[in-house]
Chains A and B, each alone.
Chain A
Amino acid sequence: MATVTSKTAYGAAPSGASAVASAVPPALPSYPDGSPLTLEDAPLVRGNLSFHDITELVAHHTEKKTPTGWFLAFGAALTGLGILGLAIAYLVWNGPGVWGLNNPVGWGWAIVNFVFWVGIGHAGTLISAILFLFRQKWRTSINRAAEAMTLFAVACALLFPTFHVGRVWLVYWLLPIPNQMWMWPNFKSPLDWDVFAVSIYGTVSLLFWYVGLIPDLATLRDRAVAQGRMLRAKIMAFFALGWTGSNRAWRHYERAYLLLAGISTPLVLSVHSVVSFDFAVSLIPGWHTTIFPPYFVAGAIFSGFAMVVTLMVVARRVFGLENLITIDHLEKMNIVILLTGTIVGFAYITEFFIAWYSGVEYEQYAFLNRMAGPYWWAYWSMMACNLIFPQIFWVKKFRRSIPVMFAISITTNIGMWFERFVITVTSLHRDFLPSSWDYYSPTIWDVLLFVGSFGLFFTLFLLFLRFVPMVAIAEVKGVLPQADPHFYHHHGDGHAGPHHVDFQQDAYVQAADESQTPADESSAAAH
């Protein structure tokens, strides 16, 4: 397995397209010695697809007759949604007393689930905004679905604090609306910052997602016209806003996309920082630490990427998108999971060190109690799932193995749920006064509400998969080598190779393994 360290290896790039080249790309570039491409150089789209193939591959799934499998999945998701409705109805009728909350533990599963869902959402924005700013073109295959995941995860997250207020019909008191009490919300409380941060995050994510969708909705509109499905064409035309793909429009559109990416980046970092302030500004041992904002943000990206892997591994197989969401994309996501999981693990250890180093007895006890107290099982589940299991991704074979990455993505989400549980419950259940110590257990209504939130998430996600192009068609076309006008000029202008080569970094040497076709993935998985 040879490695190539420099882009000079591309000196003899294949040429075969004449000046009046057709849109069919030439053979995929490979190193002159025939060795496999590195992960960086591997083509973003496989299978020699033309522009039209990509349109067909993605748009087809929104146009075909609804498959039975979708109805089965949707039925299961609707069952979950029904459970959610039941749990909410019972909760609103009786009040939050139906939950397992007790006196020292005033925050239980509701906050755990809130932070869990918000965290999952963050990967979508990371992929759509931060990777965009870093010119990580591989994001184009997964950003649409990841952003949809963000929106739906934020919707699930908002459920919990909304109903945790108890009298949900007065939830508008959290907003800066003049009310009959002539009072304002407490703007100095992180809980009210959360109201601003999460609702604005949801709004901006929706705008970002919709702006990205406009060209693809126009594609669906024009296809519906060509198919003679006029009602569908009218609906799509309404949402596509009359988009034509005019370059004068693309000019503003691309600028808008860049600006949205630019402002979403600090936004997403701020949202989970604000969420961590819910804990960090209090004086409870185990919460009162300055490491929380970066540690929460890393954890959010970690859990969110795991959720993207969970969803994409299934979706690419079911929808036959292995050429767009390639094994290379999944490997890159697994590298992010390995990195952020290790950051999170490092934060856990740092917390311990600081607790010891602070010399504060309460701090030290809080952490020893986490590790060896009545909730030791939650702590060690968290440690195993978040710090230890993802280390398997140091091995390339496992990074490219579908069953392994699916398993790790599930354990990661379990581990990240336990992280929030450990932070919330172990810190509260033994507070400063030993006489008030208690053990917290959820009731069936806590459990049903959480299960129901998955019902809501999957209901929305399945609707998305059915009616909206799940891959950003226009963006994927834009990263094909043949999308660059210079691809067609073979007159020694230095652009003969595919243009993502420009972004190759010499320092990072890595050989991609032999599996270059989707068929090989299953054999790789079998190892």
Chain B
Amino acid sequence: MLAALKTRLAERADTNVGLLAEFENPGALYDAVKALHSRGYRRLDTFSPFPIHGMDGAMGLGVSPLGFLAFVGGVTGLALGTWLQWWTSEVDYAINISNKPLFAWQSSVPIMFELTILFTALAVVGGMLAFNGLPQPYNPLFHSERFGRATDDGFFLHVGRADGRFSRTSTADELFALGATAVEYVDHDGATDVQPTTSASAHALAPAS
């Protein structure tokens, strides 16, 4: 089991090792992802300055499970709020006033509600960071100088080395054929430019429709 965990961690560290291709615009990126996904590539990721509408579908990703986490957070907050209100008035510091019931849910609603919201928000933000593996101080992609534009106006497609169909030359050719303007191979020790093979370069000049 320890070995399996080690393999998983090593795989995770290598997620962003592979070919990084730059595309001209979100449309070209979207088409390229769609094409690669239909050809069986699965370890794909795109990098863009803003979320691209429809990209989850093109990459074959479902709806984020964050909603469940939010629900768990909300239920936790509600339970905690209810317990706080009930326990303080019914058990810990019970004062009998005119023989009224010790615990009244009506006057407890605001605090129960606010705690529900607080815990939902914490679960959502914490869950988002956890699912995304943030904070992530090191990422091999930062070796690529070009990659700095991913947060400005660059549109990148990454094919992981771990992908079953990955090949450093033929995948790069495929990327060029799909309209990539530049392709780099990114590893832990740096990024190196990849040139198209001669047959592919002629192809790349033609518009990818």
Q: Which of B99-124 contact A (CB under 8 A)?
A: 104, 107-108, 110-111, 113-115, 117-118, 120-122, 124
Asked if B98 CB lies within 8 Å of chain A CBs, one says no
Given A223-B152, A253-B128, A255-B63, A200 and B51 contact (CB-CB distance below 8 Å): no
Asked if B88 CB lies within 8 Å of chain A CBs, one says yes
Is there contact, CB below 8 Å, between B151 and A215? yes
Docked CA distance A487–B53 (Å):
11
Is there contact, CB below 8 Å, between B152 and A52? yes
The number of residue pairs between A and B whose CB atoms lie closer than 8 Å in the complex comes to 223
What DSSP secondary structure best describes chain A's contact surface? helix
Docked CA distance A184–B65 (Å):
38
Q: How far is the CB of B113 from chain A (nearest CB, A)?
A: 6
Given A22-B24, A263-B121, A196 and B110 contact (CB-CB distance below 8 Å): yes
Asked if A336 CB lies within 8 Å of chain B CBs, one says no
A55, A252, A483: the one contacting B128 at CB < 8 Å is A252
Given A196-B114, A246-B45, A255-B66, A20 and B179 contact (CB-CB distance below 8 Å): yes
**What chain B residues lie within 8 Å of A259 (beta carbons)?**
66-67, 70, 120, 124
Asked if B84 CB lies within 8 Å of chain A CBs, one says yes
**What chain B residues lie within 8 Å of A197 (beta carbons)?**
110, 114
**What chain A residues lie within 8 Å of B89 (beta carbons)?**
184, 187
Asked if A188 CB lies within 8 Å of chain B CBs, one says yes
Chain A: residues with Cβ within 8 Å of the partner, total of 76
Asked if A249 CB lies within 8 Å of chain B CBs, one says yes
Asked if A211 CB lies within 8 Å of chain B CBs, one says yes
**What chain B residues lie within 8 Å of A52 (beta carbons)?**
152-153
Docked CA distance A504–B156 (Å):
32
A187, A218, A477: the one contacting B111 at CB < 8 Å is A187
Is there contact, CB below 8 Å, between A487 and B27? yes
Q: How far is the CB of B2 from chain A (nearest CB, A)?
A: 27
Asked if A486 CB lies within 8 Å of chain B CBs, one says yes
Instruction: Name which residue of chain A comes closest to B207, CB basis.
Output: A20
Asked if A250 CB lies within 8 Å of chain B CBs, one says yes
**What chain B residues lie within 8 Å of A266 (beta carbons)?**
113, 117
Instruction: Name which residue of chain A comes closest to B69, CB basis.
Output: A259
**What chain B residues lie within 8 Å of A203 (beta carbons)?**
118, 121
A19, A55, A187: the one contacting B209 at CB < 8 Å is A19
Is there contact, CB below 8 Å, between B46 and A246? yes
**What chain A residues lie within 8 Å of B110 (beta carbons)?**
190, 193, 196-197, 270, 274, 277
A21, A204, A241: the one contacting B136 at CB < 8 Å is A241
Q: How far is the CB of B50 from chain A (nearest CB, A)?
A: 4
| Stretch in B5-13, B54-62, B165-173, B195-203 touching the partner | B54-62
Question: Which of A193, A218, A244 has most chain B Cβ within 10 Å?
Answer: A244
Is there contact, CB below 8 Å, between A219 and B117? no
Is there contact, CB below 8 Å, between B124 and A193? no
Instruction: Name which residue of chain B comes closest to A256, CB basis.
Output: B128
**What chain B residues lie within 8 Å of A474 (beta carbons)?**
49-50
Asked if B96 CB lies within 8 Å of chain A CBs, one says no
Docked CA distance A474–B150 (Å):
11
Is there contact, CB below 8 Å, between B104 and A196? no
**What chain A residues lie within 8 Å of B185 (beta carbons)?**
none
Q: How far is the CB of A204 from chain B (nearest CB, A)?
A: 5
Chain A 35-57 per-residue mask, 1 if CB under 8 angstroms from chain B, else 0: 00000000000000011100100
Is there contact, CB below 8 Å, between A50 and B153? yes
Is there contact, CB below 8 Å, between A252 and B64? yes
Docked CA distance A225–B139 (Å):
15
Is there contact, CB below 8 Å, between B113 and A270? yes
Docked CA distance A23–B48 (Å):
13
Is there contact, CB below 8 Å, between B88 and A187? yes
Asked if B176 CB lies within 8 Å of chain A CBs, one says no
B47, B54, B108, B152: the one contacting A51 at CB < 8 Å is B152
Q: How far is the CB of A276 from chain B (nearest CB, A)?
A: 12
Given A52-B152, A222-B152, A223-B152, A251 and B56 contact (CB-CB distance below 8 Å): yes
Is there contact, CB below 8 Å, between A260 and B125? yes
Q: How far is the CB of B163 from chain A (nearest CB, A)?
A: 14
**What chain B residues lie within 8 Å of A256 (beta carbons)?**
64, 66, 124-125, 127-128
Chain B 74-93 per-residue mask, 1 if CB under 8 angstroms from chain A, else 0: 10000000001100110011
Chain A 139-167 per-residue mask, 1 if CB under 8 angstroms from chain B, else 0: 00000000000000000000000000000
**What chain B residues lie within 8 Å of A196 (beta carbons)?**
110-111, 114-115
**What chain A residues lie within 8 Å of B128 (beta carbons)?**
211, 252-253, 255-256
Asked if A482 CB lies within 8 Å of chain B CBs, one says yes
Is there contact, CB below 8 Å, between B111 and A242? no
Instruction: Name which residue of chain B comes closest to A197, CB basis.
Output: B114
Is there contact, CB below 8 Å, between A485 and B56? no
**What chain A residues lie within 8 Å of B104 (beta carbons)?**
188
Chain A 483-506 per-residue mask, 1 if CB under 8 angstroms from chain B, else 0: 111111100000000000000000
Asked if A254 CB lies within 8 Å of chain B CBs, one says yes
Docked CA distance A247–B88 (Å):
47
Name 23 A/B residue pairs within 8 A (Cβ), A-sorted.
Answer: A55-B152, A184-B89, A187-B88, A187-B89, A187-B107, A188-B104, A196-B110, A197-B114, A225-B148, A237-B137, A242-B137, A244-B139, A247-B46, A247-B52, A250-B52, A253-B128, A255-B63, A266-B113, A270-B114, A484-B53, A485-B55, A486-B27, A488-B27
Closest 7 CB pairs of A and B: A488-B27, A242-B136, A485-B30, A256-B128, A51-B153, A255-B64, A478-B50
Chain A residues in contact with chain B, CB under 8 A?
A: 18-23, 50-52, 55, 176, 182-184, 187-188, 190, 192-193, 196-197, 200, 203-204, 207-208, 210-211, 214-215, 218-219, 221-223, 225-226, 237, 241-256, 259-260, 263-264, 266-267, 270, 274, 277, 473-475, 477-478, 482-489
A219-B151, A245-B47, A488-B27 given; name 6 further pairs at CB < 8 Å: A21-B24, A187-B111, A222-B152, A247-B45, A249-B132, A270-B114
